[in-house]
Chains A and B, each alone.
Chain A
Amino acid sequence: MTGMLGPWLLFFALALPLGFLAACLSGRLRKPALALQWLAPIPALSAAILAIVGGPFSFEAPALRLSLSLDLPGALLLATASILWIVVGAATFSGGRDKPGERFAVSWLLTMAGSLGVFVAADLITFYLVYALVSIPAYELIVGNGAPSSKRAGGVYMAFTILGEALLLLAFALLAAGEPSGSLRIDDVVKALPASPWRDGALALLIAGFGMKMALAPLNGWMPLTYTAAPLPAAAVLSGAGVKAGVIGLIRFLPFAAPLQGWGEALAAVGFVSAFYGVAIGITQQNPKTVLAYSSISQMGVIAAALGMALASGDAGAASMVAFYGANHVLVKGALFLAVGVAATANFPLDRAPRLVTAALAVSLAGLPFTGGALAKLAVKPLFGGGFAAGLANASAVGTALLMLHFVGLLMRTGNRGGQAAVPASIVRLWRRIALGAIFVPWLLYPAVGDLSDSVTFAKLWDGLWPVVIGAVLALGLHRWGSRLPRIPEGDTVVAAEAAFSASFAVGGPFDSLDVRLRQWPVASLSLLAIALALAAMAAYGG
């Protein structure tokens, strides 16, 4: 079945968003193309479903130096990311009245093309291209509303993004150098990595580069700023789908086939630190969007920890499990950002049903039984084994429950927050269905990675429930005594980083005066003479 269809769907997964982009060049087609851009992920979604049902496939176009492939981990993330882009895109761009501007819409399209592309790119160059696409145009999605806070967030976001790109470029150069046959395919270079002389450098750069995208501590500062500043639909797709570019990066580029204990444990440690750090800072925050950002830092920490454990033990099957965890997060976190806008509408406090589904959606991240979150937790549980790491994983679930209940409490209390928290009217209208979809779509995907009937035993349900119960008790305590917690600025360490960055401007002064000096005639003429002599001497003696 996947014979010809799969590869072509894969091609169109990337080509259709770019086709929409090309249509924007024509003045006549631009408006309809931007309004209908939410249709562009349909081939991607179809390809993902096909790959989940029928196994992996790939598309090769050597003339374009393009190779794409889709396996189960990529397909799980691609499926949920496509759904998120379609739902939020349709609500945002086909609405009648206050549609966003053209520049915002084009940036959305570019980010979407990159976001879908990272899950299917199979060679280094294509991956780097789509990774840049999902990262850089998002700047406009963040600063779109023109507020000073979003300008600051956009600047910080760009600084982190560009630094991450630079780290990855060097990492990719090292990967390519370590592959003896000169292949640039990701699976080839990763296979050659354990034996490569540049292994450690490449791994360090990969973890740092993708870790920045995932906002692992201490590289997490940009995320709270960005999600707090961005309009809600943008925050929904960036936190849900965009961030997974880092997750798929780690999944694709870490060599799970061979155990690398040191690197695996280091990554797990970074992951666990982020998991708890996100909770610890998150509970001091009072803006629900900021709390969600810290929850993302924590959840990405769990993912990094799970991947680290898999890397340490050389568990090649872990990729699908972690991808499933990530796929659940795509939908839930995307929906939760929309919930902030839904909660800001006038009748939210009056209506019990949407409040209940919103609370269930939030707590599902902690593994609430019968939600997708419970399945996600189940999927990664074996990776943590039974010892210390398993204890940490359970503790992080308690922390997530606490943090999410803190979020729910804020939503219930803050009420109408005005324009900053606007979501399209259709999201509000369909909210119950969207939230229930985010909770239950993972049930449709789970059979690809595990046995559903096994997931509803009493022991498993209890596993899911007790962290939530403890989290709830802690949340009551937070509600009672939370005002004594210190007020930590959103973005925590980034404040220090910004100060250091501003301080570095002082370096420029000496450069200016050096330039003035070098550009004086006597200095320049003497330099010319000295260089001529130096070159002659080197030609003579330098072998």
Chain B
Amino acid sequence: MIGTPPALAATAGGSLLVLAILAPVAGILMSFVLGGRFAERVALGIVPFGLALAVAIAVLIGRSGAPIVYNIAGLPPPLGIALRADGISAVMLVTAALVIAAAALYARANFSTPEGVSEARAPLAFWIMLQAIWAALTILFVGGDLFNLYVALELLTFAAVPLVCLGGKPETLVAALRYLMFALFGSVFYLLGAALFYGAYGTLDIVLLAERVRPLPAVWVAAGLMTAGLIAKTALFPLHLWLPPAHANAPAAASAVLSGLVVKGSFFLTVRLWFYVLPALPAGAVDAFLGTLGSAAILFGSVLALRQPRLKLLIAYSTLAQIGYLFLIFPLAFGLHPWTMDGWSGGLMQTLSHAFAKAAMFLSAGLIAESLGHDRIAEFAGAGRAMPATFFALGLGGLSLMGLPPSGGFAAKWLLLRASVAAGQWPWAMVMLAGGLLAAGYVYRILAPALSDGAAVLKAPPQRSREAVALALALVAVALGFAPQSFFDFLQIGREAAMASP
């Protein structure tokens, strides 16, 4: 038997990856079987396990300084399917676990099965779909095979769409259908691309493809189709038609997961595709194109956020803008240049800090809407005094979006700015600064009326524990601003090999 190449060989700790996927999957099955009010208990019970597994995976990778690889059924690719977790997988797993945990704790007040009823539609659907999203994201972050990743991508979409229309109102159904249809278009594009890869190289394993890929017509078309499909699912401008209504109409806990995590799933896959499957392709024009779309998203999303009269729509359009920053990673981190380290760290820091900051903001917005009975910004006068902790969490999230220190958003912007200065790619720097100013504008638009004097009438004061959940997420976004160098070294684990291969 021929020896397995080192990148394909299984490593210690592989079973952790399997367990990380199985935990939420087991939760889904148990929720179906037990049903009713048990779905909530199962989901909440699974959370600490999933979180512990994610942390364990991160610790193991940090200790060994190398990715964890697991070959399903012991067969290395191309015969078998591999799971691989590198530095960025690990931080995304931990981020997903934390945001899901926060959303679950927050959602207990909205989605507990009422007394005297054995089963209610919305709670059951919420808890099952939440776990399904978690399972899908976990596979996305550790999947080593493009078809495997397609399945995860589909699962993610099918789990996310129902969350949009849990309320059951007509407009939420319209929003969910839009989301479903466009996400399916994206899936088709991705699947076509994957098929082309398989036809050309006979494998869909990321490591094997990276070794074999050559600039051929099939690869060009595959890359174009898959990338377009993925950015449609990420709602990168101008393919954002579904995002604002979907994220603004979903219940707050769901919006937090959708905006904080779900769009990051397809973005993560775009990064995998270009940095891990196609590093051999000359990508200058593609990178510039993706950076341009990202820049347009930053400016366009921020201006529209400035114009929204309702808080949740404002935050949804701000997501559109913040997604734009993510795509600056392509021009600023591709290839081996003195600045690509900063570009890579900055792009991932933006991914993480936006996940926490935006989740915190949506949860706060939910509390505000519940307590005031509306989320019309113009009528926020006095609300800051009535619910200070909620607005504090919202403000801290906003701090990160604006890119002011101390926050992960600042760290991200600082690194991306340094990279674009060092690379001499000025347009991105200008767009980032303009985006920061516009973000300051829309955060000011929320906070200035809320801090002004007025008699806000609360229907009910927000629960302390739910405020604490939102605040904890916002504080994580702030704490990311203090990430030490070793954290950025961790993000590089598994990347050198990918960048060095052909």
- Listed in ascending order, the chain A residues whose CB lies under 8 Å from chain B are 63-65, 103, 125, 128-129, 132, 136, 140, 143, 146, 151, 154-155, 158, 162-163, 165-166, 169-170, 172-174, 176-177, 198, 507-508, 511-512, 514-515, 518-521, 523-525, 527-529, 531-543
Between-chain CB contacts (< 8 Å), 23 pairs: A103-B451, A129-B406, A140-B451, A151-B452, A158-B444, A162-B436, A166-B436, A173-B418, A177-B418, A515-B304, A518-B241, A520-B241, A524-B182, A524-B239, A524-B241, A527-B238, A528-B228, A532-B228, A538-B224, A539-B215, A539-B278, A542-B285, A542-B286
Q: Nearest-CB distance from B452 to chain A (Å)? A: 7
Cβ 8 A contact of B228, one of A63, A508, A535: A535
Q: Nearest-CB distance from A535 to chain B (Å)? A: 4
Interface string of B224-245 (1 = CB under 8 A from A): 1101110110000111110010
Q: Which residues of A contact B403 (CB under 8 A)?
A: 169
Q: Which residues of B contact A528 (CB under 8 A)?
A: 185-186, 189, 228, 232, 239
* A169 & B417 in contact (Cβ 8 Å cutoff): yes
* A542 & B451 in contact (Cβ 8 Å cutoff): no
* A535 & B289 in contact (Cβ 8 Å cutoff): yes
Q: Nearest-CB distance from A516 to chain B (Å)? A: 10
Q: Nearest-CB distance from A172 to chain B (Å)? A: 8
Cβ 8 A contact of A129, one of B281, B405, B444: B405
Is residue B433 within 8 Å, beta carbon to beta carbon, of the partner chain? yes
Q: Nearest-CB distance from B398 to chain A (Å)? A: 11
Q: Which residues of B contact A523 (CB under 8 A)?
A: 238
Is residue B468 within 8 Å, beta carbon to beta carbon, of the partner chain? no
| CA gap between A523 and B482 in the complex, in Å | 43
| CA gap between A170 and B240 in the complex, in Å | 30
Is residue B455 within 8 Å, beta carbon to beta carbon, of the partner chain? no
Q: Which residues of A contact B437 (CB under 8 A)?
A: 162-163, 166
Cβ 8 A contact of B289, one of A140, A174, A515, A538: A538
Q: Nearest-CB distance from B283 to chain A (Å)? A: 7
Is residue B421 within 8 Å, beta carbon to beta carbon, of the partner chain? yes
Q: Which residues of B contact A538 (CB under 8 A)?
A: 224, 285-286, 289
Given contacts A132-B404, A512-B304, contact A539 B239 (CB under 8 A): no
**B155-178: which have CB < 8 Å to A?**
none
* B283 & A511 in contact (Cβ 8 Å cutoff): no
- Listed in ascending order, the chain B residues whose CB lies under 8 Å from chain A are 182, 185-186, 189, 215, 217, 219-221, 223-225, 227-229, 231-232, 237-241, 244, 278, 281-286, 288-289, 293, 300, 303-304, 306-307, 385, 388, 402-406, 410, 413-414, 417-418, 421-422, 429, 433, 436-437, 440, 444, 448, 451-453, 482, 484
* B185 & A63 in contact (Cβ 8 Å cutoff): no
Q: Nearest-CB distance from B3 to chain A (Å)? A: 34
| CA gap between A163 and B439 in the complex, in Å | 12
Cβ 8 A contact of B429, one of A163, A170, A534: A170
* B413 & A169 in contact (Cβ 8 Å cutoff): yes
Q: Nearest-CB distance from A419 to chain B (Å)? A: 15
User: Nearest chain-A residue to B440 (Cβ)?
Assistant: A162
* A169 & B433 in contact (Cβ 8 Å cutoff): yes
* B223 & A539 in contact (Cβ 8 Å cutoff): yes
> Closest 10 CB pairs between A and B?
A542-B285, A536-B224, A532-B228, A535-B224, A538-B285, A519-B241, A540-B220, A173-B417, A539-B220, A129-B405
Q: Nearest-CB distance from A174 to chain B (Å)? A: 6
* A508 & B307 in contact (Cβ 8 Å cutoff): yes
Given contacts A163-B437, A538-B289, A543-B282, contact A511 B304 (CB under 8 A): yes
* B414 & A173 in contact (Cβ 8 Å cutoff): yes
Q: Which residues of A contact B185 (CB under 8 A)?
A: 525, 528
Q: Which residues of B contact A154 (CB under 8 A)?
A: 448
Q: Nearest-CB distance from A471 to chain B (Å)? A: 41
User: Nearest chain-B residue to A527 (Cβ)?
Assistant: B238
* A511 & B307 in contact (Cβ 8 Å cutoff): yes
Q: Which residues of B contact A533 (CB under 8 A)?
A: 224
Q: Which residues of B contact A140 (CB under 8 A)?
A: 451
Given contacts A158-B444, A169-B433, A540-B220, contact A125 B405 (CB under 8 A): yes
* A170 & B404 in contact (Cβ 8 Å cutoff): no
User: Nearest chain-B residue to A161 (Cβ)?
Assistant: B440
* B239 & A166 in contact (Cβ 8 Å cutoff): no
* B484 & A63 in contact (Cβ 8 Å cutoff): yes
Q: Nearest-CB distance from B365 to chain A (Å)? A: 21
User: Nearest chain-B residue to A517 (Cβ)?
Assistant: B238
* A535 & B223 in contact (Cβ 8 Å cutoff): yes
User: Nearest chain-A residue to B278 (Cβ)?
Assistant: A539
Q: Nearest-CB distance from A217 to chain B (Å)? A: 22
Q: Which residues of B contact A198 (CB under 8 A)?
A: 421
User: Nearest chain-A residue to B192 (Cβ)?
Assistant: A532
**Which of A507, A534, A536 is the most central at the interface, judged by chain B CB atoms within 10 Å of its CB?**
A536
Q: A528-B239, A542-B282 are in contact. List 12 more A-B contacts (CB 8 A).
A: A103-B385, A146-B453, A158-B444, A169-B403, A173-B414, A176-B421, A177-B421, A532-B189, A532-B224, A532-B227, A535-B224, A542-B284
Q: Which residues of B contact A531 (CB under 8 A)?
A: 228, 231, 239, 293
Q: Nearest-CB distance from B416 to chain A (Å)? A: 9
